[in-house]
Structure 1
Amino acid sequence: MDFTPLKSALESKAYQNIADICDELMLKVSAQGVEFQDEWPYTIHILGHIYVNDINSARFLWKTIPPVVKDNQPEVAAAWKIGQELWVRNYAGVHEAIRGFNWTSEVKGLVTAFSELYTKKMFQLLLSGYSTISVGDTALFLGMNEEDASNYALQRGWTVDSVSRMLTVKKQPIVTEQKLDPSKLQRLTEYVFHLEH
């Protein structure tokens, strides 16, 4: 089995392509009627779907993995644990699942990249959903201890009340770009000209 495209994507950190590469390779191998259950990089495949937030595909893949693989490859089960926590929207559980396994060097980069991406996503969720939030809740969403969560938020312009341990969210200014359509400007000019004459 030639995993060169997959290895290249992992080495170049093109993690957004992992799921598609694995899906395509799996289809090719399956079409050839080759048995591959022991060799297949199920952990990477599941994590690839999780990375692009395609939990349905990760769930479907998990259901198709032979029980012997699930039993004999704990890293596969650890990858799916992240998917399970995402499925039930247990934000803190996602971080716990990430930290709760000693990942092999082959997948560590992918897991780390997903963790960073997920933390940014959770921060954006807090940013859009709250005006104030406790340091403890922020830490829970971001998968950090309270001090790190406070520092993370402070570095992004939030403020903290040290007495109440509440963070005040700094809303990002909304930048809207107006585009001038020359045809509309021409019609407006003609309309004004018509009114004046």
Structure 2
Amino acid sequence: MDLPPLSKEQLVAVLTSSRSPTELYDTLAKYETTACLIDGKESELLSLYYSIFFFSHLLTDQIYEARAMTQRVPPILAHNDPSLQNCLTLLRAVWQRKYDSVYKILRELPWPEPLRLAVESYDKYFQQKTLREVSNAYEAIRPGAAAGYLGLDPVAAEQGDPALIQQFTAAGWTWDAQAKLLHPKPIPVSPKKDAQIQNELSQIMALVGKYQG
């Protein structure tokens, strides 16, 4: 079946209607040949396409592929478009595992309105992924460090903010008030689809999300 013509309206429709990051990626990948043939004067459309496509790579953990995709973006667009420049800055932070920078880029850099859903989705996804990684990597961790990994307030966490500590215990972690240490509970990793993984952690991160920023 033929795809609808590539347009800003179609990109927003794909972004909002996709049932999972994998579906979003698969649909956008089918448009890449079309995007390559679009006149460079359609910079706003190309910017939105490549920006959303970039986030679909991140949401499906295709970091190497995201890096390769940025090299296929028309150079004049990659070097001058603010959204794509933000994407490249984010890619470097993710690549280098600079957690604080990832959250700061997602939450503080200017993103155009049509792209905000993808940005917010990746913010939540990155938190969920990091929560799993921290839960499986540490037997004990200081609350400030844990908060930094999840984009929360490390000062409040280090001070033992009860409400914030409760968010970690809601994830199955235990809190040693005397030693001022959190003890993560490992989260089993299974080959479930990305949408299923997100559903498993949605309730936890909905609570944690209250303390973002």
**TM-score, normalised via structure 2 length:** 0.69
**Aligned ranges 1:71-150 → 2 under 5 Å:** 71-146=79-154, 147=156, 150=165
Structure-1 separation of matches of 2:58 and 2:186: 28
Q: 1:141 to 1:59 in 2, by over 3 A?
A: same
Q: Cα offset for 1:163?
A: 4.6
Give yes or no for contact 1:47–1:110 (8 Å, CA) kept in 2.
yes
State the match for 2:197 in structure 1: none
Aligned pairs, number: 172
Aligned AA (1:26) = E
Structure 2: which 5+ runs fail to align? 158-163, 190-213
Q: Larger C-alpha radius of gyration, 1 or 2?
A: 1
Q: Give the alignment's Cα RMSD to 1 decimal.
A: 2.5
Q: 1:172 to 1:122 in 2, by over 3 A?
A: closer
Structure-2 separation of matches of 1:173 and 1:18: 26
Higher mean displacement: 133-142 or 61-70: 61-70
Q: 1:15 to 1:162 in 2, by over 3 A?
A: same
Structure-2 separation of matches of 1:48 and 1:78: 15
Q: 1:152 to 1:103 in 2, by over 3 A?
A: farther
What is the aligned counterpart of 1:58 among 66, 69, 84? 66
Give yes or no for contact 1:9–1:15 (8 Å, CA) kept in 2.
no
Quote the sequence identity (%).
20
The superposition leaves residues 25-65 of structure 1 with CA deviations (integer Å, 9 ceiling, x where unpaired) of 122454xx443461312211211111111112211121222
RCO higher in structure (CA 8 A, sep ≥6): 2
Give yes or no for contact 2:12–2:114 (8 Å, CA) kept in 1.
no
Give yes or no for contact 1:154–1:160 (8 Å, CA) kept in 2.
yes
Higher mean displacement: 96-105 or 155-164: 155-164
Give yes or no for contact 2:139–2:184 (8 Å, CA) kept in 1.
yes
